[in-house]
Amino acid sequence: MSVTAADIARVAYEARRAYAVALGQPAPPAWEEAPSDERREAIAGAEAVLSGEARSAAHLHETWTRRGEEVPAPSPFSPAYDQLGVDERRKLLLFRAVVLAVIDGPCNGFCHDDKCQNLEDHDCHLDTCMSKFGVPPGLWRAPAPPAGARSKLYC
């Protein structure tokens, strides 16, 4: 059985939720009770990390902020990343780290090619890049759902 982005999102969501509890903060509901828009946001976040779009917690925050602007409800990620408190930044870092731990990480977005002539940080040569975890960025592929099937996690 293949692990989907929704499966990974669920694990990362629950880790972030457990961290809120550990901090004594109000925690979002468990995955099973979470509103479908919260689950979709978590899945979109996992997909952003898996695709390499969210190469840092700040990029993940930007991804969620952009998505929040597309829906009528105000986004809980409205402040800029640098305006977030340490605990909120750690929640983003934790979510991203869990996604990477489950899949062993896509490229972090910066060049690791020893033969590259450019000495400044720049976008990777995606055809040859290996992530800092040793996994080529294109290795993870979302499994195609069976024809007509819909995952129960994509509510």
Residue pLDDT, tens place only, 46-72: 988 888 788 888 889 888 888 765 544
Tell me which of 23-37, 59-73, 90-104 is least confident: 59-73
Tokens coding 81: 């990343």
pLDDT exceeds cutoff 60 at 73 = no
pLDDT exceeds cutoff 70 at 105 = no
Tokens coding 133: 């975890």
Let me know: does 42 contact 76? Beta carbons within 8 Å: no
Sorted by where each begins, the domain ranges of the chain are 5-103
State the burial class of residue 7 (Cβ atoms within 10 Å of its Cβ: 0-12, 13-18, 19+): middle
Closest CA to 38 of 62, 71, 83, 78: 71
Indicate the average pLDDT of the chain: 74
**Is residue 110 classed as helix, strand or coil in its secondary structure?**
strand
pLDDT at 55: 80
Tell me which of 12-16, 107-111, 133-137 is least confident: 133-137
Looking up tokens 């731990």 gives 101
What is the identity of the amino acid at 46?
A
pLDDT exceeds cutoff 90 at 113 = no
pLDDT at 151: 42
Q: CA–CA distance from 147 to each of 4, 85, 143 (Å)? A: 16, 44, 12
pTM of structure: 0.66
Distance CA 116, CA 143 (A): 33
Distance CA 16, CA 28 (A): 9
